[in-house]
A and B are shown apart, each in its own frame.
Chain A
Protein backbone atom coordinates (compact mmCIF):
# COMPACT_ATOMS: atom_id res chain seq x y z
CA UNK A 1 0.00 0.00 0.00
CA UNK A 2 1.54 3.30 -1.10
CA UNK A 3 0.67 6.09 1.29
CA UNK A 4 1.40 9.82 0.90
CA UNK A 5 4.30 9.27 3.31
CA UNK A 6 6.05 7.25 0.61
CA UNK A 7 5.66 10.11 -1.82
CA UNK A 8 6.93 12.56 0.80
CA UNK A 9 10.02 10.42 1.38
CA UNK A 10 10.68 10.26 -2.37
CA UNK A 11 10.22 14.01 -2.57
CA UNK A 12 12.57 14.55 0.38
CA UNK A 13 15.23 12.36 -1.24
CA UNK A 14 14.94 14.25 -4.53
CA UNK A 15 15.14 17.53 -2.61
CA UNK A 16 18.32 16.41 -0.84
CA UNK A 17 19.91 15.40 -4.15
CA UNK A 18 19.12 18.86 -5.47
CA UNK A 19 20.58 20.50 -2.35
CA UNK A 20 23.79 18.48 -2.71
CA UNK A 21 24.01 19.57 -6.35
CA UNK A 22 23.59 23.22 -5.43
CA UNK A 23 26.13 23.09 -2.61
CA UNK A 24 28.81 20.91 -4.18
CA UNK A 25 29.00 21.48 -7.94
CA UNK A 26 30.89 24.41 -9.43
CA UNK A 27 29.31 24.54 -12.89
CA UNK A 28 26.51 27.08 -12.68
CA UNK A 29 24.43 25.30 -15.35
CA UNK A 30 24.42 22.15 -13.21
CA UNK A 31 23.43 24.26 -10.21
CA UNK A 32 20.42 25.57 -12.14
CA UNK A 33 19.46 22.01 -13.04
CA UNK A 34 19.66 21.09 -9.36
CA UNK A 35 17.22 23.91 -8.61
CA UNK A 36 14.84 22.38 -11.18
CA UNK A 37 15.16 19.06 -9.32
CA UNK A 38 14.24 20.80 -6.06
CA UNK A 39 11.16 22.38 -7.66
CA UNK A 40 10.18 18.96 -9.01
CA UNK A 41 10.41 17.52 -5.50
CA UNK A 42 7.99 20.20 -4.30
CA UNK A 43 5.64 19.39 -7.17
CA UNK A 44 5.63 15.68 -6.30
CA UNK A 45 4.56 16.61 -2.77
CA UNK A 46 1.79 18.89 -3.99
CA UNK A 47 0.38 16.37 -6.43
CA UNK A 48 0.59 13.46 -3.99
CA UNK A 49 -1.32 15.35 -1.31
CA UNK A 50 -3.81 16.59 -3.89
CA UNK A 51 -4.45 12.94 -4.75
CA UNK A 52 -4.73 11.98 -1.09
CA UNK A 53 -7.23 14.72 -0.22
CA UNK A 54 -9.20 14.36 -3.46
CA UNK A 55 -8.80 18.09 -3.98
CA UNK A 56 -7.43 19.51 -7.22
CA UNK A 57 -6.04 22.71 -5.66
CA UNK A 58 -2.67 21.04 -5.18
CA UNK A 59 -2.43 20.43 -8.91
CA UNK A 60 -3.28 24.07 -9.59
CA UNK A 61 -0.38 25.11 -7.40
CA UNK A 62 1.89 22.59 -9.09
CA UNK A 63 1.09 24.35 -12.36
CA UNK A 64 1.99 27.69 -10.77
CA UNK A 65 5.29 26.21 -9.59
CA UNK A 66 6.01 25.04 -13.14
CA UNK A 67 5.28 28.53 -14.48
CA UNK A 68 7.62 30.10 -11.93
CA UNK A 69 10.29 27.51 -12.77
CA UNK A 70 10.04 28.42 -16.45
CA UNK A 71 10.41 32.12 -15.64
CA UNK A 72 13.35 31.36 -13.35
CA UNK A 73 15.09 29.26 -16.00
CA UNK A 74 14.68 31.96 -18.66
CA UNK A 75 16.00 34.80 -16.50
CA UNK A 76 18.74 32.69 -14.92
CA UNK A 77 20.06 31.45 -18.23
CA UNK A 78 19.98 35.03 -19.53
CA UNK A 79 22.14 36.03 -16.58
CA UNK A 80 24.53 33.14 -17.32
CA UNK A 81 24.85 34.28 -20.94
CA UNK A 82 25.44 37.90 -19.95
CA UNK A 83 28.04 36.85 -17.41
CA UNK A 84 29.75 34.50 -19.82
CA UNK A 85 30.09 37.34 -22.29
CA UNK A 86 32.02 39.35 -19.71
CA UNK A 87 34.19 36.76 -18.00
CA UNK A 88 34.25 33.71 -20.32
CA UNK A 89 33.46 31.29 -17.51
CA UNK A 90 30.58 29.35 -15.99
CA UNK A 91 32.54 28.43 -12.87
CA UNK A 92 30.88 29.96 -9.82
CA UNK A 93 34.20 30.07 -7.98
CA UNK A 94 35.23 32.78 -10.44
CA UNK A 95 31.97 34.70 -10.10
CA UNK A 96 33.06 36.96 -7.27
CA UNK A 97 32.57 40.42 -8.75
CA UNK A 98 30.18 41.44 -5.97
CA UNK A 99 32.05 39.84 -3.10
CA UNK A 100 33.65 42.34 -0.73
Chain B
Protein backbone atom coordinates (compact mmCIF):
# COMPACT_ATOMS: atom_id res chain seq x y z
CA UNK B 1 0.00 0.00 0.00
CA UNK B 2 2.70 2.45 1.00
CA UNK B 3 4.63 1.40 -2.08
CA UNK B 4 1.66 2.21 -4.29
CA UNK B 5 1.18 5.65 -2.74
CA UNK B 6 4.88 6.46 -3.14
CA UNK B 7 4.91 5.24 -6.72
CA UNK B 8 1.84 7.18 -7.81
CA UNK B 9 3.01 10.36 -6.09
CA UNK B 10 6.45 10.16 -7.68
CA UNK B 11 4.98 9.27 -11.07
CA UNK B 12 2.61 12.26 -10.92
CA UNK B 13 5.48 14.61 -10.05
CA UNK B 14 7.77 13.14 -12.74
CA UNK B 15 5.18 13.45 -15.50
CA UNK B 16 3.97 16.87 -14.34
CA UNK B 17 7.46 18.35 -14.26
CA UNK B 18 8.27 16.72 -17.59
CA UNK B 19 5.25 18.43 -19.15
CA UNK B 20 6.33 21.73 -17.58
CA UNK B 21 9.84 21.24 -19.02
CA UNK B 22 8.60 21.05 -22.58
CA UNK B 23 5.80 23.62 -22.25
CA UNK B 24 7.37 26.54 -20.38
CA UNK B 25 8.26 29.61 -22.45
CA UNK B 26 11.26 30.66 -20.38
CA UNK B 27 14.26 28.41 -21.02
CA UNK B 28 15.75 28.97 -17.54
CA UNK B 29 12.49 27.90 -15.89
CA UNK B 30 12.49 24.86 -18.12
CA UNK B 31 15.96 23.89 -16.87
CA UNK B 32 14.93 24.33 -13.25
CA UNK B 33 11.91 22.07 -13.80
CA UNK B 34 14.31 19.58 -15.37
CA UNK B 35 16.35 19.52 -12.13
CA UNK B 36 13.21 18.74 -10.13
CA UNK B 37 12.26 16.04 -12.60
CA UNK B 38 15.69 14.40 -12.27
CA UNK B 39 15.45 14.53 -8.48
CA UNK B 40 12.07 12.78 -8.51
CA UNK B 41 13.43 10.14 -10.89
CA UNK B 42 16.27 9.61 -8.40
CA UNK B 43 13.66 9.13 -5.66
CA UNK B 44 12.00 6.52 -7.86
CA UNK B 45 15.34 4.69 -8.12
CA UNK B 46 15.58 4.66 -4.34
CA UNK B 47 12.08 3.18 -4.24
CA UNK B 48 13.33 0.46 -6.60
CA UNK B 49 16.27 -0.33 -4.34
CA UNK B 50 18.89 1.08 -6.72
CA UNK B 51 20.63 3.51 -4.39
CA UNK B 52 23.84 3.73 -6.39
CA UNK B 53 22.06 4.71 -9.62
CA UNK B 54 20.02 7.24 -7.63
CA UNK B 55 23.16 8.91 -6.29
CA UNK B 56 24.75 8.90 -9.74
CA UNK B 57 21.57 10.43 -11.13
CA UNK B 58 21.69 13.26 -8.61
CA UNK B 59 25.42 13.85 -9.08
CA UNK B 60 25.67 13.59 -12.86
CA UNK B 61 22.26 14.78 -14.04
CA UNK B 62 21.01 17.19 -11.42
CA UNK B 63 24.52 18.35 -10.56
CA UNK B 64 26.56 18.24 -13.75
CA UNK B 65 24.49 18.22 -16.90
CA UNK B 66 22.03 20.84 -15.67
CA UNK B 67 24.85 23.23 -14.76
CA UNK B 68 26.15 22.75 -18.31
CA UNK B 69 22.72 23.68 -19.67
CA UNK B 70 22.52 26.75 -17.46
CA UNK B 71 25.95 27.90 -18.66
CA UNK B 72 24.89 27.51 -22.27
CA UNK B 73 21.69 29.48 -21.68
CA UNK B 74 23.79 32.18 -20.03
CA UNK B 75 26.27 32.26 -22.94
CA UNK B 76 23.69 32.34 -25.71
CA UNK B 77 21.54 34.87 -23.91
CA UNK B 78 18.58 35.31 -26.17
CA UNK B 79 18.03 38.88 -27.23
CA UNK B 80 14.94 37.80 -29.07
CA UNK B 81 12.84 34.81 -28.06
CA UNK B 82 13.69 31.81 -30.20
CA UNK B 83 10.09 31.25 -31.22
CA UNK B 84 9.71 34.47 -33.21
CA UNK B 85 10.81 33.22 -36.59
CA UNK B 86 8.75 30.35 -37.89
CA UNK B 87 9.56 28.16 -40.83
CA UNK B 88 6.56 28.28 -43.19
CA UNK B 89 7.03 24.55 -43.83
CA UNK B 90 6.81 23.69 -40.16
CA UNK B 91 4.01 21.25 -39.25
CA UNK B 92 3.44 21.28 -35.51
CA UNK B 93 0.25 19.27 -35.77
CA UNK B 94 2.17 16.60 -37.65
CA UNK B 95 4.57 16.47 -34.71
CA UNK B 96 1.73 15.80 -32.30
CA UNK B 97 0.30 13.19 -34.67
CA UNK B 98 3.65 11.38 -34.89
CA UNK B 99 4.00 11.43 -31.10
CA UNK B 100 0.48 9.98 -30.89
CA UNK B 101 1.54 7.25 -33.31
CA UNK B 102 4.50 6.39 -31.07
CA UNK B 103 2.12 6.29 -28.11
CA UNK B 104 -0.22 3.89 -29.91
CA UNK B 105 2.74 1.71 -30.84
CA UNK B 106 4.02 1.59 -27.27
CA UNK B 107 0.52 0.83 -25.98
CA UNK B 108 0.19 -2.02 -28.45
CA UNK B 109 3.52 -3.44 -27.36
CA UNK B 110 2.55 -3.08 -23.71
CA UNK B 111 -0.81 -4.76 -24.30
CA UNK B 112 0.12 -7.68 -26.51
CA UNK B 113 3.86 -7.93 -26.24
CA UNK B 114 4.18 -8.64 -22.56
CA UNK B 115 6.32 -11.67 -21.91
CA UNK B 116 6.10 -13.22 -18.50
CA UNK B 117 9.50 -12.64 -17.00
CA UNK B 118 11.33 -15.70 -15.76
CA UNK B 119 11.22 -16.20 -12.02
CA UNK B 120 14.00 -14.38 -10.24
CA UNK B 121 17.07 -16.46 -10.87
CA UNK B 122 19.53 -17.22 -8.16
CA UNK B 123 22.03 -14.40 -7.81
CA UNK B 124 24.92 -14.68 -10.31
CA UNK B 125 27.24 -17.31 -9.02
CA UNK B 126 30.41 -15.61 -7.92
CA UNK B 127 29.17 -12.44 -6.28
CA UNK B 128 30.83 -12.43 -2.89
CA UNK B 129 29.34 -9.10 -1.87
CA UNK B 130 26.00 -7.86 -0.64
CA UNK B 131 24.54 -4.41 -0.85
CA UNK B 132 23.52 -2.52 -3.95
CA UNK B 133 26.62 -0.40 -4.50
CA UNK B 134 28.98 -3.32 -3.90
CA UNK B 135 27.09 -5.54 -6.33
CA UNK B 136 27.01 -2.90 -9.06
CA UNK B 137 30.69 -2.19 -8.57
CA UNK B 138 31.49 -5.90 -8.64
CA UNK B 139 29.69 -6.29 -11.97
CA UNK B 140 31.31 -3.15 -13.40
CA UNK B 141 34.81 -4.35 -12.62
CA UNK B 142 34.37 -8.03 -13.55
CA UNK B 143 31.85 -8.93 -16.27
CA UNK B 144 31.52 -5.41 -17.69
CA UNK B 145 35.09 -4.21 -17.44
CA UNK B 146 35.57 -3.69 -21.17
CA UNK B 147 32.30 -1.72 -21.66
CA UNK B 148 33.35 0.34 -18.66
CA UNK B 149 36.69 1.19 -20.26
CA UNK B 150 34.96 1.96 -23.56
CA UNK B 151 32.61 4.32 -21.70
CA UNK B 152 35.56 6.10 -20.12
CA UNK B 153 37.16 6.44 -23.57
CA UNK B 154 33.86 7.83 -24.89
CA UNK B 155 33.83 10.44 -22.14
CA UNK B 156 37.41 11.40 -22.94
CA UNK B 157 36.60 11.79 -26.64
CA UNK B 158 33.46 13.79 -25.81
CA UNK B 159 35.49 16.08 -23.54
CA UNK B 160 38.07 16.75 -26.24
CA UNK B 161 35.32 17.21 -28.82
CA UNK B 162 33.43 19.68 -26.65
CA UNK B 163 36.60 21.72 -26.08
CA UNK B 164 37.41 21.75 -29.80
CA UNK B 165 33.86 22.73 -30.73
CA UNK B 166 33.50 25.48 -28.17
CA UNK B 167 36.92 26.99 -28.70
CA UNK B 168 36.88 30.24 -30.62
CA UNK B 169 39.85 29.46 -32.86
CA UNK B 170 42.21 26.52 -32.90
A-B contacts, 18 of them at CB < 8 A, read A1-B3, A17-B19, A24-B92, A29-B27, A32-B69, A33-B21, A34-B22, A47-B48, A62-B50, A63-B136, A66-B61, A73-B65, A75-B165, A77-B162, A81-B72, A82-B166, A91-B84, A93-B87
The total of chain B residues at the interface (CB under 8 A) is 83
Give every chain A residue within 8 A of B19 (Cβ-Cβ).
17
User: Which of B82, B120, B155, B165 is close to A81, meaning CB atoms less than 8 Å apart?
Assistant: B165
Interchain CB contact under 8 A, A91 and B165: no
Query: Number of residues in A with C-beta < 8 Å to the partner?
Result: 75
Tell me, in angstroms, the Cα distance from A5 to B107 when the chains sit together: 11
1/0 contact string of A57-100 vs chain B (CB within 8 Å): 10110111011111111110111111011000111011010000
A interface, over-half SS? helix
Output the least CB separation between A3 and chain B (Å). Answer: 10
Closest to B15 in A: A13
Within 8 Å of chain A (Cβ to Cβ): is B125? no
